[in-house]
Each structure stands twice: as C-alpha cells, then as structure tokens.
Structure 1
Amino acid sequence: MNNQRLAKALRLAATIVENLVKLGVDVRSVSWDGDRPILIVEREPAFVRGALIRRQPLENCIESVYASGYQGCRLQWVVRNPITQGVSHARH
C-alpha cells in the first residue's frame, strides 16, 4: 500500500463527504479499494444513476447493491426488497 496514495484518497473522500452532506446525502461509511474511495450512502442520491453490482437473497428479502462513480469516488447503496410469496388461489 502506498501511503501517499492512501492520504490523497482520504483527502478526496473527506471533501466529497462534506459536499454530499451539504446536499443532504447521508454517508454511512468510507473505505478504500486501493484505487479510489468508496462511500456507502443511505440511499441513491437524486443526482446519480447507479448500476447493479450485486444481488443476493438475505433473510426474507433480496438485497441489491448499486454503485455509481462520483467525482473520483464510488458511491454505493443497498436496496432491500421483500421476497414475495406465491399467491394462494381459492378453490371453488
């Protein structure tokens, strides 16, 4: 790991987090993938379009993880949708 690259990524992440907070975006966590900062946000910001990067069943729902590039960082958020059960049909 290059400490200068990490320091640069952390400075970038701090700036972007400040900007996102000003825009009303709830940033949950920050990590680094060795390339760029990853910012986990509560929900999809209105000003980005995300792409599905992972979908998996989790308990009684389908968890979908979306991501979008944003000013040198990657924003990620999770959408959970309940798994619908089959509809029971009445017999006549």
Structure 2
Amino acid sequence: MPKSKVREKVARKRKVAAEITPEIIEAKVESPKWLVPVMLASFLLGLIWIVIFYLSSTSYPIPGIGAWNMLVGFGFVGVGFSLATRWR
C-alpha cells in the first residue's frame, strides 16, 4: 500500500524543525547581572519607604510632601515590577 502525501509533509516539517531548533536554543538571551539586585533593592526600598511612612504617622521619610510619600514608595515598587518583566 502506498504512503499518503500527508505523512511525507509531516516528515519534512519534522526534519526542518530538527535542523532549526539547535540554532534557536543557542540564541538564548540572559538578563544582565545588575538586573536582579537592582530589582530586589527597588522592591525593598519601596516597602521600607511605605512602612516608615505608616510607622511615623505620615510625617517621614520626607516631612514636607505628606501623603505623596506613598506615591514615592509605590514608585519604587513599580520600578521593581518593570524590571521584573525583563528578567529572563
């Protein structure tokens, strides 16, 4: 019984995929060495900033800006999240 043409097409696709796959594996992109420490530092700095703001009854870390200290703290956390999306 003759083989169907569909099987031949599948076999060709698998052969081409096997030839291309090693090139794709070699092209892995790694994140820079500084990314993880800066990301973690940003998360921690934002968290510490917000905790200090609450513990000091909204008068510190920067006394003159009041409740905007929350925005500064969440800004640091946001920078940490944006760096986390680039981590490979």
**Same structural fold, with TM-score higher than 0.5 when normalized by the shorter chain:** no
Name the TM-score, length of structure 1 as normaliser: 0.28
Question: Which is strand-richer, 1 or 2?
Answer: 1
Q: Which has the larger radius of gyration?
A: 2
Question: Which is helix-richer, 1 or 2?
Answer: 2
